[in-house]
Amino acid sequence: MEVIFKTWLYGYKELNTEKGAVGRWDLWNKTKYKQKVEKGELTSQDVAQLNHKEKLGYEFCIFNEDNQEFPFCTANVILKSSHAGVEFIDFIGRKYLNYLLGESLRNKEELFLREIWYYHFTSESGENEDYRMHFVFDEEGNINYRKYDDKNQKFEDYESNRKFDVSGLYEPYPNFGEYESLIRLDRNLPLDIFPKDGNNDNDPDVPKNPWLPGDWNKS
């Protein structure tokens, strides 16, 4: 796992420059590190570490050895606001999943996974989105979701009528450079967010979804 403290430019599918990334963080944090990066006095990693210490915002990308073209995920962290966002990228550079963590009410030194966005595409290689799902969790165990179906120009809402175990949605504040837990794709979620579509009923790697109605993903 390689951590690079730069912004990922989704439109260009490439890493930003150190100067560009730090300039972006300066706008967030009202700091003035960009000039020091331009002069070679600091690197983007140096600035990220300074921002982490002050609980200010910064970003990083995680690359795996099996794919150096696109990151496994990108992340932004603003601990002063009790915020962290992790966006997962597939093998052709599409964002397909987004975890949004916010303030935990039980402990000031941890985060709670409050939202998940899941994006489903029409084909394995195309950029066209079939639909997207927005899941919202709270610490009382309530769950609701909305399915946005752009193709048919409609959306559907679901709200749970029972409490779920959300103990697996808590995440400790990360130490600088130690992000293995924060960027976990496989989490102990109270539900399976990857839908059963009828074509993979016998595939053991595709999770079943016990709480969604059977026809929730039908057009």
Give the residue with greater pLDDT, 196 vs 53. Answer: 53
pLDDT in tens, 179-212: 999 999 888 887 766 555 444 444 444 344 443 4
Q: What is the mean pLDDT of the chain?
A: 86
Q: How far is CA 116 from the centre of its chain?
A: 8
Element (H, E) at 86: strand 83-89
**For position 18, what pLDDT does the model report?**
98
83-89 vs 143-149, strand pairing mode: unpaired
Task: Give the DSSP per-residue string, 104-138.
Answer: -SS-TTEEEEEEEEEEEESSSS---EEEEEEEEE-
134, 145 contact by CB (below 8 A): yes
**Which of 24-28, 45-49, 160-164 shows the lowest per-residue confidence on average (mean pLDDT)?**
160-164
For the ranges 37-46, 52-61, 201-210, the lowest mean pLDDT is seen at 201-210
CB 135 within 8 A of CB 118: yes
Per-residue pLDDT at 147: 87
Instruction: Say what the pLDDT of residue 34 is.
Output: 97
Q: Which residue has the higher pLDDT, 91 or 75?
A: 75
Give the predicted TM-score (pTM) of the model: 0.84
Whether pLDDT at 166 is above 70: yes
CB 112 within 8 A of CB 138: no
Q: Which residues contact 5 (CB under 8 A, 6 or more apart)?
A: 21, 43, 44, 45, 47, 48, 58, 59, 60
188 contact partners, CB below 8 Å, separation of at least 6: 167, 168, 169
